[in-house]
Structure 1
């Protein structure tokens, strides 16, 4: 018997059949999604990545009918026949519901074992099981749609930047370790015993070298690797949209990237993004929202009550924090009745404690300025009135207070703000709140190591008006750095880069690097800076995170084809794994135990 595969090409995607196809002779290929036997007729849903179409196997075609009766889920089949109307049996719930294929030829191309879980949306199998059988999980329509969407957005991305004069260029995967950020993934060299390559955490230095080489505008959709502790929004390997351009100011970069997100959102979602995007300095974000990536789909700003309370209360947690140089900040919630005593005594303190806070004080505001709660009795009527005015709080409000070090108070209240926003259903999934966060500090002090560390990376340029502060007051230097935030998620971050060799040397030294260390780690880069470097800047966009938001996924795992677990393992391929002793010997290394 001649195979259908060798004689008849697939007509179209299974999800594309419509009433206009009625009467066509077609060939359908795909996986058995479901089958039903009714009154001598076998109905089979045949699925591919475009959707599924129902095929109809009548008993008057004995061979076809007998084969159809033997089919099982996930068998791969080919069928030929004519598209007919379903008549009164139209299914309006599916795109192909007006038609079916009356089969005159049927062939099993591949049988399948019983899958460990059903291949359909809405089946909540164990996460580890899904990752172990990822090739089956990827057959689910939801994930099929996600990766078709990812392909579309990748194509839109290339089009936008190529149309804007960018060259798509590649940077090395095997490169040099410069452990200034997260831990590197190291690759031992067989040819050079005892020496190692590193997988790139970012193509940072190479994209800057492209600018020094006169390439003018560079783009790349690249893989990056970081050996760090994983979170819900982190993977050890991820995809980044990487950009760099010469002779650019911050304003030019803002305009370029705003055009990009407006283009993608319009083409992919049909959504108009109002431009220009909102901007907020790092200091404003921390002061008002407690974090550098605030979700602006809702309000609930934080209020600093430090000076209002200083010397005016005997409430011990407030006094202790202020005496230690800390602050008192608060979150006022107009709809205080939405939160129970359990929230106040258990939920809120637990959330705050996860960010280092010792506790959460609270007060409810009743009629005529009366307050209740642990804080109330330590506040005079005059102080309550002053606080209420400062908070803009009215009758019925609930006020949450955190008194601690600035970093702890901000982090705890930023988390509580999100918890409250979620509880009050303020996180509108159909709203896109873009924000540029600008003017980051250039450095942050590492108490454990007793030295300054770069807040972004050591190639970020200080603001021109802050150059003279570099040696005099590093903590006061602001960088020409910027992050693009969407709905509380950092989409991308970038900066104008240092293009003067003397400024770069000063920054390296401020970070505690000796001249010998600078030469050993960055010698080639420092040399390149001395051969005529144009002013330049760039940005890196997390493509995985952007896709997660665009398709409404809950996890990065739903937009990365073969993700790792929280322990950085691949349950499907069982990586990482041990290797043969011979391989280790060739690399001149030995495995522990």
Structure 2
């Protein structure tokens, strides 16, 4: 039968005890990690969120406590009164390993059945079972550390923002659906049958309205929602550090957020992040790395050899350049000895990104090995080698296609080579930040048959490109910027349009009539009639930042109660059916799909 606390108060956490506590009487409470019975002595590892301490019960210490300790099993919840003493056999692998607690009194506060998962670090169990019993999974020390770091990171952010004059202001969770971007989560309204709220994909419009309201420095650590198919490290509900500032330009926003990251990594990891971060344009990022979120911890940059092969007898290269495409490659240094099987695997990879194939040239000692060498003159081969800075032992990997396909294929190939050659991975602990700037304002959507905003419809074009909005919209660059860390976009933002006439031109470029624009964003456009300040901001993916701070590569490891890959919760079985009465109140009929 479980006992009550009966006024007993915890004096210390398990993981706090050290040699300076020797001689003190303490009251500890927590979970039994394991029990070891040596006849006259019972050793128990007691765990709470701060760590583990060894408690010893013995007939000579206290007979009643010793007898009760014989009942203990893993995950029982207990309270112990005892004296801190030095251990006869210290454990140098445990922070509390120099001491132990002599148990003078034991109370069993609750018993536990055998858990369906082990409560231990680096548990090798299926994700399904871990999420179903998440409350047990969260007892594991490594996950508890992640959640504690998340808490500390949020506090650092709040302290930093407060010191820099920002106000944390909450924005609505029930708002208007403005389908630009991902699919909204919709919430039916009982008071307005047939009408729906949407859960916010971000507080974008409200934070701009706060600028109009005169709160010139706003931030919020806020939940956001997107009903989209989940790729790796995506969740249907996620957390942003949302920031907006008035009377600023790009450099002001960038400076503030570099200082925020510097502070965060210093206080959480005691790492000095050098600032300012390097900046490259979107165009340069794509041409050098094949990605708008490049991992700059290693080289293997893309090289354009279109000019060198445009007149070659290799038809694929010649025709690609003639039709406005591009021929680019990566010099995989020292990889000439890759087997044909390894190269075939790399070819399969680039094909998944739309490339028709992968040409290769292996520069071996005294010979060139390549299926395309016979189509290239000695002069062309030398020109390729010179352009790609190749030498004996290198493997040149080349893709020819439309620029978009070449960048996607070689960008993915570059990352695969980085992993294969161990240039990135668990052993590379460095943090490489950079900014990617001057994104295209618009991109053409083949399905929609119109231009869509690459970021969102309120992003300001570069001043010198505004006149291209009507004539060459694809050439208009945005005052947009993404912060990238080790190949992951962790934040992005822009300077916003605050001029009504320019906003109208933007909507027109997006194929939105003013009537449609007012239907979607009328409350913002109305507000802009009343003196909006110049403003800009940025939103960080807080979950992704915490992933870096904790060293995990799985976003679920930094969220207390995440969803699975189907956006379902195995713990609560959400989403679930609801009563007919609830549906009737909302005026909703569920039609089963065939």
> TM bucket by the smaller chain?
over 0.9
Asked if 1:291 corresponds to 2:272, the answer is no
Which residue number corresponds to residue 419 of structure 1?
416
Give matches, 1:379-458, under 5 Å. 379-427=376-424, 429-458=428-457
Note if contact 2:481-2:494 (Cα within 8 Å) is conserved in structure 1.
Answer: yes
Q: CA deviation at 1:447?
A: 1.6
**1:354 equivalent in structure 2:** 352
Query: In structure 2, what is the Cα distance between the partners aligned to 1:70 and 1:585?
Result: 53
Q: Distance in 2 between matches of 1:7 and 1:233?
A: 45
Is residue 2:569 matched to residue 1:570?
yes
Distance 1:332 1:75 in 2: 59
Which segment is superposed worse, 142-151 or 464-473? 464-473
- Structure 2 residue aligned with 1:81: 82
Q: Which residue number corresponds to residue 269 of structure 2?
A: 269
Give the structure 1 partner of residue 94 of structure 2: 94
Specify the alignment match of 2:465 in structure 1: 466
Unmatched 5+ residue regions in structure 1?
Answer: none
Query: Does the alignment pair 1:478 with 2:477?
Result: yes
1:581 aligns with 2:577: no
CA-to-aligned-CA distance 1:58-101 (integer Å, 9 cap, x gap) = 024332222211111111111111111112x1111100001111
8 Å contact 1:4–1:78 — kept in the other structure?
no
Give secondary structure in 2 for the equivalent of 1:267. helix
Contact 2:3 2:110 in 1 (8 A): no
Q: Give 1:77-226 correspondences, 5 Å limit.
A: 77-87=78-88, 89-226=89-226
CA deviation map 1:374-413 (0-9, x unaligned): 1222111110000000001111100111112211111111
2: distance between equivalents of 1:313 and 1:399? 19
Structure 2 counterparts to residues 223-238 of structure 1, below 5 A: 223-238=223-238
Distance 2:406 2:547 in 1: 30
Q: Is the 8 A contact 2:479 2:494 kept in 1?
A: yes
Q: Residue 11 of structure 1: CA displacement?
A: 1.3
Deviations 1:328-354 (A, max 9, x none): 110101111463322101x21222122
Instruction: Work out the CA distance in 2 between the residues paired with 1:338 and 1:293.
Output: 30
**TM superposition shift of 1:466:** 1.2
Q: CA deviation at 1:322?
A: 3.3
CA–CA distance in 2 between the matches of 1:140 and 1:308? 58
Per-residue Cα deviation, 1:141-178 (whole angstroms, up to 9, x for no partner)? 00010111011110000010110000110100000000
1:244 aligns with 2:244: yes
Contact 2:562-2:569 within 8 A present in 1 as well: yes
**Cα distance, 1:273 vs. partner?**
1.2
Please give the residue correspondences for 1:47-66 in structure 2 after superposition, counting only pairs within 5 Å.
47-60=47-60, 61-66=62-67
State the TM-score, normalized to the length of structure 1: 0.97
Q: Aligned in 2, Cα 1:100/1:445: closer, same or farther, shift over 3 Å?
A: same
Unaligned runs of 5+ in 2: none
Residues paired across the two proteins, number: 589
- Displacement, 1:431? 1.1
1:323 Cα offset (Å): 4.5
Bigger Cα displacement from structure 2, 137-146 vs 419-428: 419-428
Contact 2:117/2:125 (8 A) holds in 1: yes
Q: Is the Cα contact below 8 Å between 2:222 and 2:242 reproduced in 1?
A: yes
CA contact (8 A) 2:336 2:364 kept: no
Q: How big is the shift at 1:418?
A: 0.8
Q: Give the drift of 1:516.
A: 1.7
Of the structure 1 ranges 108-117 and 350-359, higher mean CA displacement relative to structure 2 is found in 350-359
8 A Cα contact 2:167 2:219, kept in partner: yes
Residues 409-432 of structure 1: CA distance to partner in whole angstroms, max 9, x if unpaired? 111111111111111111253211
Q: Assess if the C-alpha contact under 8 Å between 1:4 and 1:79 holds in 2.
A: no
| Aligned partner of residue 162 in structure 1, secondary structure | helix
CA distance in 2 between partners of 1:299 and 1:550 (Å): 24
In 1, distance between residues paired with 2:388 and 2:313?
Answer: 17
Distance 1:529 1:562 in 2: 39
Q: Is the 8 A contact 2:281 2:438 kept in 1?
A: yes
User: In structure 2, the residue corresponding to 1:482 is in which secondary structure?
Assistant: strand
TM-score, normalisation: structure 2: 0.97
* SS of equivalent to 2:274: coil
Query: What CA distance in whole angstroms lies between the structure 2 residues aligned with 1:313 and 1:16?
Result: 74
Q: What SS is found at the alignment partner of 1:11?
A: coil
Structure 2: distance between partners of 1:129 and 1:405: 45
CA RMSD in angstroms comes to 1.4
